[in-house]
Amino acid sequence: MLRKFVAADPVARRIVRLTGSDAGANHTMEEAGTMTSSRPRAQDAPPTSRAGFSMVEVVVSLVLLTVGVLGLGGTTAHVVRQITLSDLMTERSAAFQTTIDRLQSLPYDSVDSGADSVGIFDIVWTSVPDGPQNKIVTIVTTGPGLGGPGFPTNDPAAVDTFQFRILRR
C-alpha cells in the first residue's frame, strides 16, 4: 500500500528519493493520506544565528598575530647581532693565534716588544723576562668586537688582552 501511495504522490516520491528508503521506517501514514517524517526537514530547521567570525574574534586574532610577528622580529635582530659578534670573536682569536705562532717561531732572544696589524685588528705585544729561561708575552688587540659592561654590543674599538709564556729551548 505504501508503494502505491509513493508512486502516486510527487512529494512523497521526493522524500523517498532523498531518504533512499521506501520501506517507511521513519514514515507514517496519516488519516488524510499524506506522508510525514519523524525526522525534521532542512527547511524546518531554525536558522543559525552565526555565519562567520565576529569583529571581536577578528581583532583578538590580529592582536595575537601582531604580538607573534613582533616577537619574531626582535628575536631575529638579536640572532643577527650575536652571529656578527661571534664572527668578530672568531676573527680576533685567529689574529691572536697568528701573532702567537709568529712569536713562537722566532728565536728566544729575538722575542721583544712590537706591533702589527692582522686583518681588521691592531696588535701590540710586550715581552718581559720572567726568569733566566722564560718570558711572559702580553698581546693586546684593538678592533671591532664585544664591548659594553652589561648587554653585549658591537664596539668598534674593543680591547682584548692575552698572556702566554715562551720558554728557552
Query: How far is C-alpha 159 from the geometric centre of its chain's CA atoms?
Result: 33
For residue 4, the model assigns a pLDDT of: 52
Highest mean pLDDT: which of 12-16, 43-47, 86-90?
86-90
User: What residues are paired with 36 via a beta bridge?
Assistant: 28
pLDDT tens per residue across span 8-29: 566 555 555 555 555 544 544 4
pLDDT at 115 over 80: yes
For residue 158, the model assigns a pLDDT of: 87
The structural domains of the chain, with segments of one domain joined by +, span: 2-44, 62-167
pLDDT at 82 over 80: yes
Mean pLDDT of 30-48: 56
Query: In angstroms, what is the C-alpha Rg of the chain?
Result: 44
Least confident range of 12-26, 33-47, 110-124, 132-146: 12-26
Mean pLDDT of 64-78: 92
Pick 88 or 19 by higher pLDDT. 88
% of the chain residues with pLDDT over 90: 43
Q: Are the C-beta atoms of 162 and 138 separated by less than 8 Å?
A: yes
Which DSSP string corresponds to the chain?
-HHHHHHH-HHHHHHHHHHT--S-SSEEE-TTS-EEESSPPGGGSPPPS--S--HHHHHHHHHHHHHHHHHHHHHHHHHHHHHHHHHHHHHHHHHHHHHHHHHHHS-GGG---EEEEETTEEEEEEEEE-SSSEEEEEEEEEEEEEE-SSS-EEEEEEEEEEEEEEE--
Q: Are the C-beta atoms of 35 and 6 separated by less than 8 Å?
A: yes
Least confident range of 21-25, 59-63, 70-74, 112-116: 21-25
% of the chain residues with pLDDT over 70: 67
Mean pLDDT for the chain overall: 79
